[in-house]
């Protein structure tokens, strides 16, 4: 992925494609909600993109604002057994995690291009994006701000969070300050797919190197 919850496009604004993903909000591009890092800007608003990569994140909000209607009307496969109980461990940063499946492969290295599947939800359980629904995992460079901080920390491991191993599945509960903060994501016409100050819930499957 050339661009994320948001932190929902994951790459730089010029490399993002339309989708709601987990890229940095400043690198968002369009058709799916990426989880962009809130500090990046781009052409779409992927949920996982870094909120600072707005172009990408905006793509998430824009391409995503139109495609989300279709997305929400379709079934959303889960990345793990949602009925299974999972006790979250809360870290000092407010990021909480719970491993449903411990991986068997190598952990990611900062700056490495990796692949991951995910399902993103709000606290009320409403699904705002799913790579499973699109039938393709997202690719992004981990630990360099292409996605929201909650994703970088939740996968690489930091501040009490162990690093994920390839093949692992983890649930993340991301506080606003590590997600899209006061800006939210996918906002248009007074409404946002991810409202400001939202706590984000993610089921993440770390596939491995891209």
Which of these is catalytic: 6, 64, 97, 128? 128
CA angle 41, 131, 187 (to 5 degrees): 40
Handedness of CA 173, 177, 181, 186 (dihedral sign): negative
C-alpha–C-alpha distance, residues 17 and 27, integer Å: 10
Which of these is catalytic: 129, 132, 152, 206? 129
Q: For the chain, what is the total number of helices (H) and then of strands (E)? A: 3, 9
Handedness of CA 71, 73, 74, 80 (dihedral sign): positive
C-alpha–C-alpha distance, residues 82 and 141, integer Å: 27
- Catalytic (active site) residue 88: no
DSSP state of 162: P
Which of these is catalytic: 118, 132, 140, 206? 118
- Catalytic (active site) residue 203: no
Which of these is catalytic: 148, 155, 174, 194? 148
Whether residue 23 contacts residue 49, with contact meaning beta carbons closer than 8 Å, is answered with yes
- Catalytic (active site) residue 148: yes
- Catalytic (active site) residue 140: no
Coarse DSSP helix, strand, coil percentages of the chain, rounded to the nearest 5 percent:
15, 30, 55
Q: Which residues contact 116 (CB under 8 A, 6 or more apart)?
A: 131, 137, 138, 140, 155, 204, 205, 206, 207
Active-site annotation, residues: 118, 128-129, 148, 180, 202
């Amino acid at each position: 992925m050339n661009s994320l919850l948001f932190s929902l496009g994951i790459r730089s604004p010029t490399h993002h494609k339309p989708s709601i993903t987990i890229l940095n909000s400043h690198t968002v591009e369009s058709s799916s909600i990426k989880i962009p890092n809130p500090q990046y800007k781009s052409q779409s608003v992927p949920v996982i993109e870094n909120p600072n990569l707005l172009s990408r994140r905006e793509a998430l909000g824009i391409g995503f604002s139109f495609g989300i209607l279709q997305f929400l009307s379709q079934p959303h496969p889960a990345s793990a057994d949602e009925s299974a109980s999972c006790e979250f461990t809360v870290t000092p940063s407010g990021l909480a995690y719970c491993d449903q499946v411990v991986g068997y492969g190598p952990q990611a290295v900062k700056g490495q291009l990796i692949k991951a599947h995910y399902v993103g939800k709000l606290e009320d359980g409403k699904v705002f994006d799913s790579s499973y629904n699109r039938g393709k995992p997202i690719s992004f460079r981990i630990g360099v701000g292409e996605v929201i901080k909650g994703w970088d920390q939740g996968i690489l491991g930091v501040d009490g969070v162990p690093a994920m191993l390839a093949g692992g599945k983890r649930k993340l509960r991301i506080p606003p300050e590590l997600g899209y903060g006061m800006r939210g994501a996918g906002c248009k016409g007074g409404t946002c797919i991810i409202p400001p100050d939202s706590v984000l819930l993610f089921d993440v499957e770390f596939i491995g190197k891209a």
